Amino acid sequence: MEDLRAGDILCRYFIYFMLYSVIGWCYEVFLEVVVYRWGFTNRGVLFGPYCPVYGVGATIFLILLYPMLKDRTLGRRILLIPLIFLLSMTIATVLELLTSYILEYVSGSWPWQTYADYRFNFQGRIALSPSLRFGLGGVIFLYLLQPLFEGLCDGLGTSRTNRIALAAMVIVGLDCIFTFFLK
């Protein structure tokens, strides 16, 4: 990877944020349509096909957990899987809980189903089953997807990566304006 300036790194992180937000939206839609058979609804709080909470969670994983995997041998990375799983599960669960409180304060509710019917839940806001899936998702993100996304950005080069990030920022910014201020 080439030497990057702070602005270049921020652009990369925004691209990672967007990729994980889109993956999170696809995951939510898959659960809704295929697993639960409820039919399609836009699972995000914005108009576009992305769930920012997944992007925020993945970005936190990248900042706090991904450095643990850098410059380690394959054997040491494998030994870290249980720790990465537990930390991902904990971070994502805390994020989901905080997000539910923030969205309830701002909009009167949170946009995902209540977990009240789940055996192990807290206030219907978080539950063990989704938390376990978040832990698995964190391992998949950090061990499989992030190296691919880094390779993608490296292949695009800094200039092209920055232009894509700036275009995505404009699109998401307009989406936020439309969703929260012009609705």
Is pTM beyond 0.75 here?
A: yes
Residue 56 within any structural domain of the chain: yes
How many helices (H) and strands (E) the chain has is answered by 8, 2
How far apart (Å, rounded) are the C-alpha atoms in residues 157 and 163? 10
pLDDT in tens, 90-143: 999 999 999 889 888 887 777 667 788 888 999 888 999 999 999 999 999 999
Domain count, the chain: 1
Residue 1 within any structural domain of the chain: no
Question: What b-and-e string marks burial along 80-99, b requiring 16 or more CB atoms within 10 Å of the CB?
Answer: beeebbebbbebbbebbbeb
Residue 48 within any structural domain of the chain: yes
pLDDT in tens, 137-146: 999 999 999 9
pLDDT in tens, 23-55: 999 998 888 888 877 777 766 777 788 888 899
Of all residues in the chain, the percent with pLDDT exceeding 90 is 60
- Domain of residue 78: give its range: 6-180
Residue 64 within any structural domain of the chain: yes
